Amino acid sequence: MHKAEGFQIISEDKTKISATLFSGDAKSAHLIIVSPAAGAPQHYYKGFADYACQYKEFDVVTFDYRGIGGSLHGAVKDERCKMSDWGDQDLKSVISWADEKYDKIFLIGHSVAGQIFPKAANNGRIRSAYFVGSQSAYHGHWKGLWWLYVLIFWYILIPLTVSAYRYLPGWTMGGNIDIPKNAAKEWRKWGTHPQGVLQGNREMAQKFDSVRIPVHFVNIEDDKLLAPSAATQALMHFYRNAVTTFQFIKPKDLGLERIGHFGFFKKKFARKLWPMPIFFFTQYLNKFD
């Protein structure tokens, strides 16, 4: 049997971050942090967390970025956070919380998580990271009609909807989770600059350069709208000093019709997909001791 316990982590700037700890019968010495996508609340990852903590080596913690899900305090239109705060405040706080309780800490990140991970100043405490559908947001990495949609998103949908609603409505991303306006505006900067999250900023590039752990990138063949292969590989190349590996998954090779951007964390794909990150993390349980 395993249990899930909700709690709050207080960030350095005193923001309450909603989190859930998943643990098995015996408390593990090791933890997997789940860093979510921009439009996904932590409960989306519950299935994976339940699965991963069945392995005696791991506990799992999920959390919501500020302005999202349980970490939204008040109306979304009044939330002032930037997307960078999700890394340099929220993820940093989760890592700090984990550092006090666990020997070895791992991270599985979805989508935007790969862009904000280096912003957490204590990311060196992570032993290895596994990113699913993470990408550089710059529209130049998209092709054809997908490129046209991304252009519309960055140059029309975000400016118009943020101006009208004072936040980015979830329906613009095909979901129902709204994004605070400053986070959406910063995200747009990453999507319209050739260097994406780096923004041509030397300090930001140095943060990526400081990541020296094993980092695995998973790209899904039918994830052409939100994370095409070129965008994932562009982000991977920002991690110049990390030990990076890249995996391209074709659904048909696994006997599946489609997976898409959000499919990896759906329970129906658990048997075929979820052993992959567990195996990756297990490789590094005893290395570097």
Per-residue pLDDT, 288: 52
Q: Which residues contact 74 (CB under 8 A, 6 or more apart)?
A: none
167 vs 178: CA distance, rounded Å: 7
Q: Are strands 214-220 and 179-180 parallel, antiparallel or unpaired?
A: unpaired
Per-residue pLDDT, 287: 58
Residue ranges of the chain with pLDDT lower than 70?
Answer: 1, 26, 287-289
Residue-wise pLDDT for 238-263, tens only, equals 999 999 999 999 999 999 999 999 99
Per-residue pLDDT, 56: 85
104 vs 213: CA distance, rounded Å: 13
Q: Which helix (H) or strand (E) holds 115?
A: helix 113-116
The pTM of the full predicted model, rounded to 2 decimals, is 0.97
